[in-house]
Structure 1
Amino acid sequence: MDSQNTSSEKLDVYQMVTDRVVELLEAGTIPWQKPWSESGLPMNVISKRPYRGINLWLLLSLNYERNFFLTWDQLKKVGGSVKQGQHGHIVVFWKQVKKFPEELDENNKPKMVPMLRYYKVFNVEQCRDIPKDLVPELAKDEIDPVLECEAIINGMPDCPVIKYKEQKAYYHIAQDYINMPKKKSFATNGSYYSTLFHELVHSTGAEKRLGRKSIIEMAEFGSEPYSIEELIAELGSSYLNSFTGLLEKEIENSAAYIAGWLGKLKNDKRFIIQASGQAQRAVDFILNQVEKESKDDLNEVIEESMVS
């Protein structure tokens, strides 16, 4: 049983997360292509807060029937315990620490910098004696994916104009519009909306929206900013697909697709965490939830550990 609830100063959290994503990709699993329609959006069972950023994909990849989790401290507080042989799963968060060597800010106080840390959580299926009234029933609402997709597009603040000038999909940053092939060109509604969501995520990077460097600087194909921007769009569109109940579109030539991301991840341990945080901000913008965004994309664990 793994009861660790705090991170070690000596561990490289970026590397831990990257190693896990690499492990999944090498096994042929694309973490951001895991829908949550059957098992629910991963959330903390006590606070009822959904996990965000990279934590969402890390927990979703575990394939539990119910995506409800809690920390070791929370489990003890409700009188539960972990089943023999079960181990916790990491979730990461940002913690403000004093800069070293120490520097003072304009108010003569020590400058603080964000440091990536981790906690461990357990799925409710790994535990026993959790009060039944704490674990919600999985939602079984029947939704129309097309209506949900249209609602997102119509509800996006400052949504760029969507045009159908030519048979290719792209976001034109200088003129701030999205071009899409005609809808009838797509084999399914899912592939159409998934492609449109990809371009909508790109559009959130415009200066007047989120001002994301990876799209503003118009980086060359294959460069690091270009690759990060593409992963941001992949992660964001995958989230929106699951949010609306769309089945994820098939990735053509998946072996080459996976190999491409493996190369990027192995060369930069911060790559996946940076892209996940930016994708979460993009999704929040599209869903008009910017005002609800917490100070840190990954700070839910700090708050959860304080829940009594």
Structure 2
Amino acid sequence: MNNNIKRNGRASTRRDHYQDVTDRIVAALEAGTAPWRRPWDPEKSGGPLSPINAVTGRRYHGINDLLLGMSLFSFASGDPRYCSYKQAKARGWQVRAGEKGTTVFFYKQLRVEDRDAPADGEEHTRNIPLLRAYTVFNGSQIDGIPEFVPPTIEEAPWRRFDGADIILRNSGAVVRIGGDQAFYSPSTDHIQLPPERAFRSPEAYAAVQMHELCHYSGAPSRLNRDLTGRFGSAKYAFEELVADIASCLVNTELGLPTEIENHASYISFWLARLKSDKREIFRAAAAAQKAADYCLAFHPDFAGSQSDSDGHDAAESDAPLVEAA
């Protein structure tokens, strides 16, 4: 499809959202920061760190979680709520003049006639994936919005100290303790962990448990990701990227640290992959979201809290569509 579209008889260049997002992620990695990490103390943040929609209460997912997590408001405001201008207006709230929003995305399938199909008298259609781009504003940018009140531990019991233990136990994963390395072995389908005393704190131990459980989720009998890559390969690095993002999503929900040590070579592999394929971070974020949802579902309280959600971010009907094919 031609990237130049005509408006009022003049050609304009369509913005490449995939490249824009990839460039932001690459810049953060080159600066030494994985942008999906949450480098703050969850106990001092005043509430859940996962961004949510101010109107629907639903979590943002995948690439949107990463993009909103990179926003300065995630560090400064203490308010995880976002919504579009249209949503705010419908509630009688007002986005303050001059405020700059954050672009997030939503996928949509558009069914069109397949002109390349054989002329056999039958109707042929195909689906074109479209990327819907829209702008959201943080609660701190909106006048009239009710004050944000963080949920209590009774309202979010998965954030108790034993949340990771409950998830790991309910997953049924085989866990072996010993040695000085933490890893998931696809060949034996087990998680290996050093003794808990080898970690800086119980929270750090729980965070690593969740990281390895995210790897565990990729087995053929579960989410069926490609786990065949050897250390140092592109496949191995991609799986580490997925697990790193996924464990950050899980640990953020549980109120655990998200800083987990990774081999320095991962960064160079991630950069090479992202620079060569502008859609790679979207695929990695989508796979990470599936892994995080898989793991979190083992906590019955969290699973129950998501029962009324359709799993999609709220989208605006008037947002522009961008071809994703």
Distance 1:187 1:280 in 2: 28
How far does residue 36 in structure 1 lie from its aligned partner after superposition? 8.4
SS at match of 2:71: coil
- What TM-score, normalized to structure 2? 0.76
1:230 aligns with 2:244: no
CA contact (8 A) 1:104 1:111 kept: no
1:187 aligns with 2:197: no
SS at match of 1:300: coil
Given candidates 149, 154, 157, the residue that maps to 2:164 is 149
Deviations 1:103-151 (A, max 9, x none): 669x945111323331111112112233x2xx54123539775412111
Provide closer, same or farther for how the CA distance between residues 137 and 274 of structure 1 changes in structure 2, counting only shifts above 3 A.
same
How far does residue 237 in structure 1 lie from its aligned partner after superposition? 1.3
Given candidates 113, 122, 128, the residue that maps to 2:128 is 113
Q: How does 1:129-144 map to 2 (within 5 A)?
A: 129-130=144-145, 132=146, 136-141=148-153
Q: How does 1:28-107 map to 2 (within 5 A)?
A: 28-34=32-38, 37=42, 38=45, 39-40=47-48, 41-64=50-73, 65=77, 66-98=79-111, 102=115
Distance 1:63 1:294 in 2: 27
AA aligned opposite 1:54? I
Provide closer, same or farther for how the CA distance between residues 235 and 250 of structure 1 changes in structure 2, counting only shifts above 3 A.
closer
SS at match of 1:246: coil
Distance 1:260 1:188 in 2: 30
CA contact (8 A) 2:102 2:135 kept: yes
Q: Match of 2:224? A: 211
Distance 1:99 1:232 in 2: 33
How far does residue 225 in structure 1 lie from its aligned partner after superposition? 2.3
Distance 1:170 1:96 in 2: 38
Distance 1:293 1:111 in 2: 31
Deviations 1:162-198 (A, max 9, x none): 0125432222212211111222222322332222222
1:263 aligns with 2:278: no
Distance 2:116 2:194 in 1: 54
Provide closer, same or farther for how the CA distance between residues 36 and 90 of structure 1 changes in structure 2, counting only shifts above 3 A.
farther
Q: Match of 1:197? A: 210
AA aligned opposite 1:286? C
RMSD of aligned C-alpha atoms?
3.3
Provide closer, same or farther for how the CA distance between residues 247 and 120 of structure 1 changes in structure 2, counting only shifts above 3 A.
same
Q: Match of 1:13? A: 17
1:249 aligns with 2:253: no
How far does residue 257 in structure 1 lie from its aligned partner after superposition? 5.9
Distance 1:75 1:120 in 2: 12
Provide closer, same or farther for how the CA distance between residues 166 and 155 of structure 1 changes in structure 2, counting only shifts above 3 A.
same
How far does residue 278 in structure 1 lie from its aligned partner after superposition? 0.7
- What TM-score, normalized to structure 1? 0.80
Q: Match of 1:221? A: 231
CA contact (8 A) 2:247 2:258 kept: no
In the alignment, structure 2 segments of 5+ residues that lack a partner are 1-11, 298-302, 320-325
- The structure with the larger Rg is 2
Q: Match of 2:9? A: none
SS at match of 1:239: helix
Higher strand share: 2
Distance 2:309 2:287 in 1: 14
How far does residue 251 in structure 1 lie from its aligned partner after superposition? 3.7
Deviations 1:249-284 (A, max 9, x none): 354787x76555333322221121111111111111
SS at match of 2:218: coil
Q: Match of 1:3? A: none
SS at match of 1:31: coil
Distance 2:62 2:232 in 1: 24
